[in-house]
């Protein structure tokens, strides 16, 4: 069975709605995919931290790092876990809060025209083959539904401020060219 879209939600993902989103500006459609890496606590995988962060339910007493970030209001459209599980937090029709201060091809505020995909990972460990496969399938589905032209890393749209998806992200394994500004 082919996965389907409904109001920006992909049937191939487990849905966990985040309150950290808002409408895209009038006339803005997503044409850029931004790849991120995240792990909570840092360099730890498999726990509920990312979902808790994106749903504003992170307990600051659970880990010292959580106390530093508990007040953040952030989200991404999608999250790909190390085992390949795909979670969607925000409709692709809406603006997720993943890019922050950002610019690509002279256009600022990349959240307005991008879809954010978080991979469970960090700057120091390789990503899993199943994550690359899920990412490629998701981007293919996004391109079939939206006018996606480019795939870039968070570090490409926020150089000097962000490093993800990091040096261990293999653009060739993901099936995308290395971004060039």
Distances (CA, A) of 12 to 26, 37, 115, 150, 151: 28, 20, 16, 22, 20
Active-site pick, 68, 108, 118, 128: 118
Tens-place pLDDT, residues 43-90 = 999 999 999 999 999 999 999 999 999 899 999 999 999 999 999 999
DSSP string computed for 86-144? EEE-S-TTEEES-S-S-EETTEE-GGGGEEEEEEE--SSSPPPHHHHHHHHHHHHHHHH
Say what the pLDDT of residue 1 is: 47
- Distance CA(117)–CA(154), nearest Å, equals 10
Nearest to 158 by CA among 74, 92, 90, 98: 98
- Which neighbouring-strand residues pair with 151? 33
The CATH number given to 5-173 is 3.40.80.10
Tens-place pLDDT, residues 150-169 = 999 999 999 999 999 999 99
- The answer to whether the CB of 16 falls within 8 A of the CB of 54 is yes
Query: Per the structure block, which two tokens stand in for 164?
Result: 């993800």
Catalytic status, residue 118: yes
DSSP string computed for 134-152? HHHHHHHHHHHHS---EEE
- Give the residue extent of every domain in the chain: 5-173
Look at residue 2 and tell me whether its pLDDT is greater than 90: no
Say what the pLDDT of residue 117 is: 98
Decide: residue 70, CB within 10 A, 0-12 exposed, 13-18 middle, 19+ buried. Answer: middle
Say what the pLDDT of residue 181 is: 80
Query: Per the structure block, which two tokens stand in for 20?
Result: 């950290």
Say what the pLDDT of residue 3 is: 75
Tens-place pLDDT, residues 127-155 = 999 999 999 999 999 999 999 999 999 99
DSSP string computed for 5-63? EETTEETTSEE---S-EEEPPTT----EEEEEEE-SSTT--SSSHHHHHHTT---TTS-
Is the link from the previous residue into 165 a cis peptide, with omega within 30 of 0?
yes
Tens-place pLDDT, residues 98-123 = 999 999 999 999 999 999 999 999 99
pTM of the complete model: 0.97
């Amino acid at each position: 069975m082919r996965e389907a879209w409904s109001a920006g939600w992909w049937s191939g993902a487990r849905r966990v709605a985040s309150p950290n989103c808002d409408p895209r500006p009038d006339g803005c459609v997503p044409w850029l995919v931004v790849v991120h890496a995240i792990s909570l606590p840092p360099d730890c995988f498999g726990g509920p931290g990312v979902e808790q962060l994106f749903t504003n339910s992170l307990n600051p007493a659970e880990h010292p790092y959580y106390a530093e970030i508990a007040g953040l209001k952030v989200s991404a459209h999608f999250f790909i876990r190390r085992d390949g599980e795909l979670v969607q937090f925000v409709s692709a029709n809406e603006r997720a809060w993943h890019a922050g201060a950002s610019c690509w091809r002279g256009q600022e505020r990349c959240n307005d025209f991008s879809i954010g995909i978080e991979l469970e990972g960090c700057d120091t460990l390789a990503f899993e083959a199943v994550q690359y496969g899920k990412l490629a399938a998701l981007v293919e589905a996004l391109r079939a539904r939206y006018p996606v032209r480019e795939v870039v890393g968070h570090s490409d749209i926020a150089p000097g401020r962000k490093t993800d998806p990091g040096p261990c992200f293999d653009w060739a394994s993901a099936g995308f060219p290395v971004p060039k500004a």
